[in-house]
Amino acid sequence: MIAYDLSPENAPALEKDARFKVLKGHTTTDVIVAMNNSKKPFSDPKVRQAITLAIDRKAVIQGAVAGYGTLIGSHMDPTNPYYVDLSELYPYNPEKARQLLAEPGIQMDLKLCSSCRNPMPMPEDREKLLLTSFPRVGIKLTLEVIQMGQWIDRVFKKCGLRRDRYGPRRTLRHRNLRPS
């Protein structure tokens, strides 16, 4: 029997059962936090760096997909021939994130909203786990669950993002951060 589309937390139980063989491999599915750098506050590279430094990606992988994931640090997955490992370029560093956000000229009261589509490939509690790092550095983040049509309208039309000529990227979750 071949099964797919199982939640990652099912793997340890299946591995313990002699009737099953769990095969692990790479996938093209990825998690992306998108920021439109042509709009404030994301037009400031320090804000983007602070947001990146604020995300504990190892904890996200552990909590959201039971440790079955790979840090990638970019929008390319390891199966892509153009993949370059950038996972340590901005490692989790909440102290440095706070310092960047405290620099002169940076908006001190940073309030962001993350829209995710419904139906969601991941349960909402996992979605919330992915966003818990922000309050630790002083960023207030709200999660908004919207219908797929609204999500496409916001991400691809109103935010200026577009599909590339190869079609839409296949993503596990594409978070579109915006000022709230």
pLDDT of residue 164: 39
What does the alpha-carbon distance between residue 135 and residue 124 come to, in Å, rounded to a whole number?
18
Residue with tokens 């935010």: 159
| pTM confidence score | 0.75
pLDDT of residue 65: 76
Q: Mean pLDDT, 10 residues at a time, over the chain (180 residues)?
A: 72 88 76 78 88 87 80 82 89 93 76 68 60 82 78 68 38 51
Radius of gyration of the chain (CA): 17
C-alpha dihedral sign at 73, 75, 80, 83: negative
C-alpha dihedral sign at 49, 51, 52, 55: positive
94-102 and 45-54 helices cross at what angle (nearest 10)?
150
